[in-house]
Amino acid sequence: MRGRTCYVVSYDIMDPKRLQRVHRTMKGFGDAVHYSVFRCDLTPKGRVEMIAALTGLIKHDEDRVMIIDLGPAEGMAEERIQFLGAHSAKVRENAIIV
């Protein structure tokens, strides 16, 4: 995972059809952590591609996407994420965008 940065991406999409499209798109960039929240380990190019894809899907006057940079994926990113209560274990490796 060298050269990858860990991001938490959360979104509020007002239209159900757009919400489905955004969710399907995000599955290609990372792993769902909660409904409408993804963890993505991306290269700089992958981040640009994700932002471009989301920019083309959302309505900028109605929807919003929040992208939080947690730093290098091989660094302290894992320690910066804390769960309370039940959460699913990591089922598969993070998506890799080349």
Mean model confidence pLDDT for the chain:
87
The percent of residues in the chain predicted with pLDDT above 70, rounded, is 86
How high is the pLDDT of residue 92? 41
> Domains plus CATH for the chain?
5-80 (3.30.70.240)
Q: Long-range CB contacts (< 8 A, 24+ apart) of 14-19?
A: 14/59, 14/62, 14/63, 15/59, 15/62, 15/63, 18/57, 18/58, 18/59, 18/63
How high is the pLDDT of residue 89? 61
- Total-model pTM: 0.81
Q: How far apart are CA 84 and CA 61, in angstroms?
A: 33
How high is the pLDDT of residue 91? 42
Q: How far apart are CA 42 and CA 72, in angstroms?
A: 9
> Residue 23 pLDDT > 90, yes or no?
yes
Three-class secondary structure of residue 7 per DSSP: strand
Q: How far apart are CA 45 and CA 32, in angstroms?
A: 21
The percent of residues in the chain predicted with pLDDT above 90, rounded, is 65
* pLDDT digits 0-9 by tens, 34-79: 889 999 999 999 999 999 999 999 999 999 999 999 999 887 777 7
